[in-house]
Structure 1
């Protein structure tokens, strides 16, 4: 299979409502990352990017 999926972790870990404000992953996604298959990791990265974008959009409004 292709290359490993790079973790979205940016070492700025702070959970807000069970979502990391640094990478956008949920607490469970962070815990399960190493055991995930390639497709699961890729989907997680995509979901995390959407969450992070939404989180930052909301933060700018405040």
Structure 2
């Protein structure tokens, strides 16, 4: 984050505000194969950070 042209380390409050904005405006998305895993937003598409099996039916063990 930049404040007056200088960058600083985000505080817990800053991070909490970002999390609230994510929940409120975009909504959290979770992987269908890994329900406890939050998706990573990459532009238009969201990507699961864990590997998926080739068949796409069974979740990969962690």
Question: Same fold judged by TM-score > 0.5?
Answer: no
TM-score, with normalisation over the residues of structure 1?
Answer: 0.30
Normalized per residue, the structure richer in strand is 2
Normalized per residue, the structure richer in helix is 1
- The structure, 1 or 2, with the larger RCO (C-alpha pairs under 8 Å, 6+ apart) is 1
